[in-house]
Amino acid sequence: MIIDCHGHYTTAPKALEDWRNRQIAGIKDPSLMPKAGDLKISDDELRESIEANQLRLMKERGLDLTIFSPRASFMAHHIGDFNISATWSAICNELCYRVAQLFPGNFIPVAMLPQSPGVDPKTCIPELEKAVKQYGNVGINLNPDPSGGHWNSPPLPDPHWYPIYEKMIEYDIPAMVHVSTSCNPCFHTTGAHYLNADTTAFMQFLTSDLFQRFPKLRFIVPHGGGAAPYHWGRFRGLAQDMKKPPLKELLLNNVFFDTCVYHQPGIDLLTRVIPVDNILFASEMIGAVRGIDPETGHSYDDTKRYIEAAKISAGERGKIYEGNARRVFPRLDAALKGKGK
């Protein structure tokens, strides 16, 4: 089985975006604020948006199951206040849940949280609980910078975030560290902010004792870990200068990287540098990069081709495709086993 651990619902029916635009307009003019119930999307519309897009590509590429969460750039936690984010998160999480209900063999949901800049993360717990208990979510996406590029929340090892971590441990779910749209003109969203956030989070973990305090906490650092694997020697050396244990011992029971790296040399580096047990297959399609690479004739984000061509064994490939995802997402494993898979 091939599990793609990083897919977003980027192809939701246009009605979702229209509703969001009305909600944003309603922040300034409350008379324009829509109700959650105003959004009507039928099962047929959901089916169509998936069958023509993600599911079509999954079949073409030979992927079985996508761990599926709301569109990352649309989370936009910086917009409005907690209530705005809460309504928006509930809507987006419900849609991913419905997709998973419609295609139970192909999609399983991961939740966005109703984060809001300056608001205590414990306000996210009710949505998190609903997502896990009612909707069967197997993980969450955690935004380390709900401001959208101003980076004015405490670093991830700060007790500020502990309420989320305590729930993650209680439910045995991992978090993917994933920012949303940048509203800082210095940072291009998918070309800088995403990768910077990955590198930043990794270094926050490295300099902290978070995993001594929470040994069961698990994070996926997406987009191949940002700059971390390419600069693995730098990070090993920085940890060493700080008298920390080796990275494997310090971080690699708790930190995992996905394979959203859109060319063969990048995947070759990732699989050469990072222990295979810490790599989870992912493509983040249909996402940041949608074109065909003229150097290969295939989609940039068809990452399975790079994994197939990487110099690793069949057993290692199996871990990247399936085994590691089952281990990092125990609720996914349980759901699959419940279906005899």
User: Which alpha helices (DSSP H) does the chain contain, by range?
Assistant: 14-28, 43-51, 54-61, 72-75, 82-102, 125-133, 162-171, 194-206, 210-213, 232-241, 247-250, 264-273, 303-309, 314-318, 324-328, 330-338
The answer to whether residue 284 is catalytic is yes
* Parallel/antiparallel/unpaired status of strands 219-221 and 255-258: parallel
Give me the least distance between CB of 50 and a copy of itself, in Å please: 22
Catalytic residue among 94, 127, 284, 322: 284
Residues from 118 through 157 that contact a copy of itself (CB under 8 A): 144-145, 149-151, 153-155
Give me the least distance between CB of 216 and a copy of itself, in Å please: 24
Closer by beta carbon to a copy of itself, 257 or else 321: 257
Query: Long-range contacts for 35-41 (Cβ within 8 Å, ≥24 apart)?
Result: 36/87, 36/90, 36/91, 39/15, 39/91, 40/15, 41/12, 41/13, 41/15, 41/16, 41/95
Residues from 278 through 307 that contact a copy of itself (CB under 8 A): 288-291, 293-294, 300-301
Residues from 164 through 223 that contact a copy of itself (CB under 8 A): 184-188, 190-192, 195-196, 199-200, 202-204, 206-207, 223
Give me the least distance between CB of 10 and a copy of itself, in Å please: 13
- HSE of 20, CA atoms in CB hemisphere, 13 A: 20
Taking residues 224 to 243 in sequence order and writing x for each that binds a copy of itself by CB under 8 A, - otherwise, the string is x-xx-xxxxxxxxxx-xx--
Annotated catalytic residues are 284
Q: Residues in the site for a copy of itself, rule: CB under 8 A?
A: 144-145, 149-151, 153-155, 184-188, 190-192, 195-196, 199-200, 202-204, 206-207, 223-224, 226-227, 229-238, 240-241, 261-266, 268-269, 272-273, 288-291, 293-294, 300-301
